[in-house]
Amino acid sequence: MAKLYGAIEAGGTKFVCAVADEELNIVERISIPTELPAETMGKVISFFEKYQLVAMGIASFGPIDINSNSATYGYITNTPKVGWKNYDFLGTLQAKFDIPYAWTTDVNGAAYGELKKGAAKGAASCVYLTVGTGIGGGVVVNRQVLAGYGHPEIGHLIMRRHPEDKFGGKCPFHKDCLEGLASGPAIEQRQGGIKAYEIPQDNQAWKIEAYYLAQACVDLTVTLAPEKIVFGGGVSKQKQLFPLIRDSFKTQLNGYVPTPPLAEYIVPVALGDDAGIIGCFLLAQEKERER
């Protein structure tokens, strides 16, 4: 009988749940609206109850507690999402399914998927940045998801301001962080409410956006020295951004350290919206092998 693996990509808007075999062939996949925990998790459990799973990978919106020595390990912690603050996500599933679990952030799941099967395939390290309603980042080092006392919050790197940018910043915690200055809502508010996808490609807004994203790439380069920096999310689908990011990165780094050729170093996501769910399956397989 073929082994089956479960995957949950838990986002603030929807949960994607899927089951796959050892070759990552999808057996079934569903999308569930993210409502209150009791309703959402009830549907999640009902979906997986139909299958005999050997392991599951979970990549969740956060912040989450990934410290296995913590009393709140497996919890979603200080999220603004109504009903989910201090919710025992992992424990709820463990009470129903006695299997190994991989537990990480949504962006770490996507980073792992891109490293194994996507834009960073063949590399040992990468950073994945998603740029949309918020900005988040996942890191893989030596083919392992980076984890310490907590998980990276790359979206809250503090930024040096673009000389022409007078926007006050969108983040309620930091104002001048990457998310506060370069997320989709920040772009729109800076442009007087115009949606990012409606802004002409030659508008100065994209040069400002590229400046901040390039600055983040510089910070990540000098701290982590990854082999690839992979961009996902809605804003990064603006293809005109990538040459602008690379040019600004070259200027800001100013030749301080070597990098791979920039067209190969700063790249768009290859797995699209499937990066996270594929990463979950792969992490679940790793957990099952460890058992």
| Mode of pairing for the β-strands spanning 144-145 and 229-232 | unpaired
Domains and CATH numbers, the chain: 5-106+273-290 (3.30.420.40), 119-270 (3.30.420.40)
Nearest partner of 56 among 288, 290, 289, 284, judged by Cα: 284
Task: Identify the three-state secondary structure at position 48.
Answer: helix
Kindly report, residue by residue over 197-214, the tens digit of the pLDDT: 899 999 999 999 999 999
208-234 tens-digit pLDDT: 999 999 999 999 999 999 999 999 998
| Tens digits of residue pLDDT in 85-116 | 999 999 999 999 999 999 999 999 999 999 99
Per-residue pLDDT tens over the stretch 240-289: 999 999 999 999 999 999 999 999 999 999 999 899 999 999 999 999 99
Q: Please report the pLDDT score of residue 172 as a whole number.
A: 84
* pLDDT cut 90: percent of the chain above it: 87
**pLDDT at position 291:** 74
- Average confidence (pLDDT) over 140-157: 89
Residue 149: band (very low, low, confident or very high) from pLDDT cuts 50, 70, 90: confident
Give the 3-state secondary structure of residue 233. coil
H/E segment holding residue 157: none
pLDDT digits (tens, 9 = 90+) for 55-83: 999 999 989 999 999 999 999 998 888 99
- Phi, psi (deg, nearest 5) at residue 238: -75, 95
User: Which among 93, 88, 47 is positioned nearest to 65, based on CA atoms?
Assistant: 88
How confident is the prediction for the chain on average, in pLDDT? Answer: 95
Calculate what percentage of the chain has a pLDDT beyond 70: 100
Sequence letter at residue 257: V
Q: How far apart are CA 90 and CA 67, in angstroms?
A: 12
